[in-house]
């Protein structure tokens, strides 16, 4: 799609050389995080975490065991005056929605102690001479997620999630507040750059919390992995202390790969192009001279009369300042604004709005429908009418909408009077 030699971008430019390529604005952050997770330690940890989540999610028996172990630990914590562990279910790492990944990693950290205890209980129930395949998996999981590598990557992911979860919500939510999200990107990049410069102090705090997680199960303080002549599966660094090793092998590569990805995905051209959304009447109060100049530089080659751009912007501002509508009734969307724009009076603004409307922006909420299908259209319930399927998907996707059960029953009774019980 995006390849400049042979992709769709190149094919379009064969006909329109001035055309610019913009990836879907809602998923730019997803792409940046996916590329940043190419660090080997991060890839291995996320793969192990996904396997652990599948191990619990698709077995009600293991899930009940996890809940029981959480309750047992909470009784002990309550007696010792400690805070209780939240009773949560492990969520799968979403492939497309990083908001879900943030939540899954956060939940994993919250119930980490209960997970390790539950896996040890499951391993203890299996007879050693005849260990079945499921027990072998249970015995492997504690070794995979209880390593210092895995805990370092988990903490680094949680650290990055703290800065990017809000942006993910804005970019992938139904309101698509792209203007505010794009304005926060430079600030977030600057913070990551500052943490990169102060990597020693930043990682020291994470290292202390990782050591605390390790001490919960009587593990010793980690040691530096041995050096070998040739190593391809992990970092092979000559350092003086364990925290220096994991800082240099996990934290710094992760941040170093994330910063350029954010800068390349959210370029200055993309940010200037998005600033044209401030021309919407509902956003005009936030329009500044700098935004007007940036919008002009991004769309100058496409404007029908660039020389009258400044005067046209002033007339556009005055029009909506003197409008009789209240702020709540002003056009909010591009479609409403384009319908209210006279292309003869405002040719430049009409062209900008038209170009802005064809920039790909999607809401990731529509992906919930595909996720809901695997819960509804199963092997045991694969034959149903389209109307029933649509209704069930709507119920799953909009669980927050309250239903009037009595009205549903009355409507069903009216549609099928022969099924209603006879009154005595």
Per-residue model confidence as pLDDT tens digits over 232-267? 666 777 777 888 888 888 888 889 989 998 888 887
Give pairs for 332-339: CB < 8 Å, separation 24+.
332/280, 332/281, 332/282, 333/280, 334/280, 337/279, 337/280, 337/281
DSSP tag of 275 = G
Residue 11 is predicted with a pLDDT of: 79
- On whether residue 78 sits in a domain, the answer given is yes
Residues 184 and 125 in one domain: yes
Residues 93 and 144 in one domain: yes
Angle between helices 148-172 and 40-57 (to 10 degrees): 80
Which of residues 357, 387, 410 is at a domain's end? 357
Residues 255 and 313 in one domain: no
- Residue 218: phi, psi to the nearest 5? 70, 20
- On whether residue 96 sits in a domain, the answer given is yes
Distance between CA atoms of residues 277 and 279, nearest Å:
5
Query: Which parts of the chain register pLDDT below 70?
Result: 1-4, 18, 25-26, 95-98, 125-144, 172-177, 216-221, 231-234, 269, 360-371, 419-424
DSSP tag of 145 = H
DSSP tag of 240 = S
Closest by CA position to 108, among listed 172, 154, 160: 154
Residue 420 is predicted with a pLDDT of: 63
Q: Contact at 8 Å (CB) between 36 and 257?
A: yes
Q: Contact at 8 Å (CB) between 170 and 177?
A: yes
pLDDT, one tens digit per residue, over 5-16 is: 777 778 787 887
Q: Contact at 8 Å (CB) between 330 and 374?
A: no
**Domain assignment of residue 296, given as a range:** 269-357
- On whether residue 185 sits in a domain, the answer given is yes
Residue 190 is predicted with a pLDDT of: 93
Distance between CA atoms of residues 330 and 224, nearest Å:
62
Residues 173 and 198 in one domain: yes
Distance between CA atoms of residues 283 and 285, nearest Å:
6
Number of domains in the chain: 2
Residues 121 and 80 in one domain: yes
């Amino acid at each position: 799609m995006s390849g400049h030699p042979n992709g769709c971008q190149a094919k379009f430019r064969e006909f329109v050389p001035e055309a610019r390529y913009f990836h879907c604005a809602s998923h730019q952050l997803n792409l940046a995080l996916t590329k940043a997770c190419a660090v080997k330690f991060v890839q291995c940890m996320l793969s192990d975490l996904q396997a652990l989540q599948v191990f619990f999610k698709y077995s009600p028996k293991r899930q009940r065991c996890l809940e029981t172990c959480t309750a047992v630990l909470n009784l002990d914590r309550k007696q010792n005056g400690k805070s209780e562990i939240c009773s949560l279910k492990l969520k799968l790492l979403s492939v497309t929605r990083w908001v879900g990944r943030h939540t899954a990693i956060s939940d994993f950290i919250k119930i980490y102690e209960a997970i390790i205890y539950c896996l040890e209980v499951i391993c203890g129930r299996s007879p050693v001479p005849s260990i079945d395949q499921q027990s072998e998996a249970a015995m492997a999981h504690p070794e995979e997620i209880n390593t210092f590598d895995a805990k370092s990557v988990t903490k680094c992911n949680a650290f990055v999630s703290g800065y990017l979860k809000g942006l993910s919500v804005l970019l992938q939510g139904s309101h698509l507040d792209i203007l505010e999200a794009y304005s926060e990107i430079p600030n977030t990049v600057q913070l990551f750059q500052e943490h990169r410069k102060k990597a020693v102090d930043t990682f020291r705090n994470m290292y202390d919390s990782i050591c605390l997680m390790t001490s919960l199960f009587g593990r010793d303080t980690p040691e530096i992995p041995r050096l070998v002549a040739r190593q391809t599966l992990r970092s092979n660094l000559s350092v003086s202390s364990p925290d220096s090793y994991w800082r240099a092998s996990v934290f710094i590569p992760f941040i170093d790969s994330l910063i350029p990805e954010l800068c390349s995905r959210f370029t200055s051209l993309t940010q200037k192009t998005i600033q044209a959304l401030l021309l919407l009447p509902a956003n005009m109060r936030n329009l500044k001279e700098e935004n007007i100049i940036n919008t002009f530089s991004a769309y100058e080659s496409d404007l029908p009369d660039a020389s009258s751009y400044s005067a046209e912007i002033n007339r556009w501002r005055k029009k909506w300042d003197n409008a009789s509508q209240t702020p709540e009734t002003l056009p909010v969307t591009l479609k409403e604004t384009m319908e209210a724009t006279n292309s003869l009076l405002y040719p430049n603004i009409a062209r900008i709005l038209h170009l802005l409307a064809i920039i790909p922006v999607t809401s990731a909420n529509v992906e919930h429908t595909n996720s809901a299908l695997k819960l509804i259209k199963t092997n045991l319930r694969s034959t149903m009418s389209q109307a029933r399927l649509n209704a069930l998907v709507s119920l799953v996707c909009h669980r927050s909408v309250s239903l009037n059960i009595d009205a549903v029953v009355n409507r069903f009774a009216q549609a099928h009077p022969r099924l209603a019980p006879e009154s005595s």
